[in-house]
Amino acid sequence: LFAAPTEFLKGVVAMDGLPPDDRLEVCFAGRSNVGKSSLINALTGRKGLARASNTPGRTQEINFFTTTGGPYLVDLPGYGFANAPVKVVEKWQRLLKAYLAGRASLRRAFVLIDARHGVKAVDEEIMALLDRAAVTFQVVLTKADKIKLEDRERVLTQVRGALAKHPAAFPELVVTSSEKGDGIETLRAIISTLE
């Protein structure tokens, strides 16, 4: 899946811009700065691949990446921008809802949570959206290298507690560090075995 280069396919701003629903796909969601671009780059082994989604003006796009013979990797817009105009937030929430509810080939959403901070209110919102759209989601803890081992268990407990309230949550967590490479192979394996 990740042997040959993953390529950026397109950025989508409206439902009619989605590529054909002709293969499986997985999506990545997380508050801005959670480490989403870094994770996608680590997964695909391509530094800078997912940077496009972070450049100003492109943050509202749903970005599609192709893998070799495998699912699309879909980078959803980062959420939790404190200062984003209400109209902009509403527009992407509409697109996001339409995408999540209407994409038959979407097999799993990975919700990225900073390993230091655990689940926040904005993460609960996206999880509730996923519940409503009946999209199975799995939490990926990011930046695990930034938390001491003795603090990790406390965060894991908080996250598991939060997940218990969400019917669409997949119980198993993936702990990652894009910086150190922890959990990246595990995540690749999870994506590779989806059917």
Asked whether the CA dihedral 131, 76, 96, 10 is positive or negative, the reply is negative
C-beta of 116: minimal distance to ligand GDP in Å? 10
| Site map 103..142 versus ligand GDP, x via CB under 6 A | ---------------------------------------x
Nearest one of 26, 23, 9 to 112, comparing CA atoms: 26
Task: Compute the C-alpha angle 185/190/193, nearest 5°.
Answer: 120
Q: How far, rounded to the nearest angstrom, does the alpha carbon of residue 74 sit from its chain's CA centroid? A: 8
Q: How many residues bind ligand GDP (CB under 6 A)?
A: 17
Which of 143, 162, 174, 175 is close enough to bind ligand GDP by CB under 6 A? 143
Judged by beta carbon, residue 144 or residue 162, the one nearer ligand GDP is: 144
* Helices of type H across 2-148: 36-44, 86-102, 121-133
Nearest one of 70, 92, 78, 76 to 25, comparing CA atoms: 70
178 is a site residue for ligand GDP (CB under 6 A): yes
| Site map 57..86 versus ligand GDP, x via CB under 6 A | ---------------------x--------
- Give the tokens for residue 154: 């406390």
Which residues of this chain interact with ligand GDP, rule CB under 6 A? 30, 32-38, 54, 78, 142-143, 145-146, 177-179
